[in-house]
A = this chain, B = another copy of it.
Amino acid sequence: MMQPFSRYSDRYLDVPRLTCDIGVPLAEQPKIGHNRWHPEIPPAVTVDPGGEVILEAAAYDDYQIHDNGGLDELRRVDLSRMHPLTGPVYVNGARPGDVLVAEVLGVEPLSGIAFSNILPDTPGLLSETFPEGYRSTWYARGAIAESPEVPGVRIPAQPHAGTMGVAPSFELMRLWDKRERPLYADGRAFAPDPQNALLRGLGVEAARVAARTQPPRENGGNMDINTLGPGATVYFPVFVDGALLSLGDHHLSAADGECSFNAMEMDGRSWLRLHVIKDGMARHRITTPIVRPAPLVAQLGAARYLGFTGFCFRGKEQGYQDASFAAQEAVHRAVDYLMGLGYSGEQAYVILSVAPVKIRISCIVTIPNPTVTLYLPIDIFDRDIMPS
C-alpha cells in the first residue's frame, strides 16, 4: 500500500498531487479544481482504493483578499467565486451506494499567513452588530497562530479543510435546487449562478444548474467541522461513479459555529488516503457523512474552559426551541464578557470565530428555551480571564 520513500530524498514525492500556484485565482489554473458541485466534472486525478493524494487549494476567497487591502476590499469580495475546490479525485471502484473513506493524513498551510475578517453583508451571527467590517491577519508560527490585531491571544494551530465533499448525482442536485429554491429570492440561499462558475471544462448549461458550495448537504461539502484535522476519518456516501471527492477552504483554526463567517482562513494542503466500503450506505445506514475526529488536539483541559449560556430569548423577545437563537445569544454573552476585559467588539467576535471554542447544545427539550453553552478555552489568553 505504501510507496517507498528514501531517507535521502525530499518527502511526498511519490504521492499524486494537485499543486496550487500561490496567488493565482482558480480561473487561471482551472486544471486543479472547480467551484460548483456537479455530477460530471472531469476528474483531475485518479487513485486506487488504499491510495493517497495531496490536494492544495487557495483559501475560500480565491485570492480576492490581499495582504494590504483595506475594508473596501472586503466589501468587494464576490461570493460567486467561492469556494475554489481542488479535485475531483476519481477513486477506482467506487460506485453509488458505497461509502468513501477519507483518512486525513496531513493538513498544512501553504504560506505563513491566515486571516479572519468580518465581511459586511454575510450571514455572520452578529452581522448587524458589526456592519463596518474588520480585518485580522494571523501568522502561523508552527504550533501557534498570533495576530497583531488581537494581542494577548495565542491560538493553537489545528489545520483542517473546511470543505470536503463528493459529487452529487443529478437526482440529488435537482433535489437540492427544489429544496432551496424558495429561499433564493430573499438571499437566504445561494441560487445556481453561471457567473464565475468554474467546472473544469463543463459548459454553461452545466454551470446554470451546478450547485453552489456554500451550504453543507448530503454530500458533505462546507461542513466546517473543526475536528477533521490530521488523523481524522470521514465516511462519505457515494452518489456517482468514482465518488469524485474535492476539498478546499482550509482553516488554520476554527471555532465551533464559525460565528463571524470567517474561521482562520488559509491556503492549504491536505494529504488523504482513500478507501471504499462496498455497499456501505445500506450496511451502515449512512445518508450524510459521518466522522471520526482527529486524535491530535490541543489539550486545553476540561476545566480550563469558561462556558457562556445562551437561551432563545433576548430582552422581551422570545423564541421557541430555537438553538440557533440560543447560540447567537451565547456568542453575545461571550462578546460582552470579553469586552469587559478590554477587547473591542470586533476583536472579541474574531476570537470567538477562530479559537478552539466549543458550542454545545446542552439541552433542547426544555420548552420554550433550549440551552446552548459556548465553551471558551482559558489558556489561549496570556492572562487570567476568570471572574474574581
Contacts and interface: CB of A to CB of B under 8 A. Distances in A.
A201 interface: no
A71 interface: no
A45 interface: no
A179 B369 CA distance: 11
Contact of A125 (B7, B280, B318, B365): B365
Contacts of A188: 320-321, 367-368
A41 to B, nearest CB: 21
A322 to B, nearest CB: 6
A360 interface: yes
Interface in A294-321: 294-311, 313, 316-318, 320-321
Nearest to A213: B366
Given A143-B230, A297-B296, A367 B307 contact: no
A239 interface: no
Given A105-B144, A284-B337, A361-B257, A277 B226 contact: no
A25 to B, nearest CB: 12
A92 interface: no
A317 B179 contact: yes
Nearest to A386: B292
Interface size class of A (residues with CB under 8 A): 35 or more
A270 to B, nearest CB: 9
Interface in A309-364: 309-311, 313, 316-318, 320-324, 327, 329, 333, 336-337, 339-340, 358-364
A372 interface: yes
Contacts of A318: 179-180, 182-183
A99 interface: yes
Interface in A71-100: 99
A261 interface: yes
B267 A292 contact: no
Contacts of A317: 179
A94 to B, nearest CB: 15
Given A225-B309, A300-B303, A307-B227, A5 B365 contact: no
A289 to B, nearest CB: 5
Given A311-B216, A359-B360, A296 B293 contact: no
Contact of A362 (B223, B284, B285, B310): B223
Contacts of A180: 318, 368
7 contacts: A11-B111, A180-B318, A216-B309, A225-B363, A258-B362, A259-B365, A296-B297
Given A7-B111, A227-B373, 13 more contacts: A6-B112, A189-B368, A217-B313, A222-B366, A224-B362, A224-B371, A283-B387, A288-B309, A292-B306, A293-B307, A295-B298, A301-B304, A358-B360
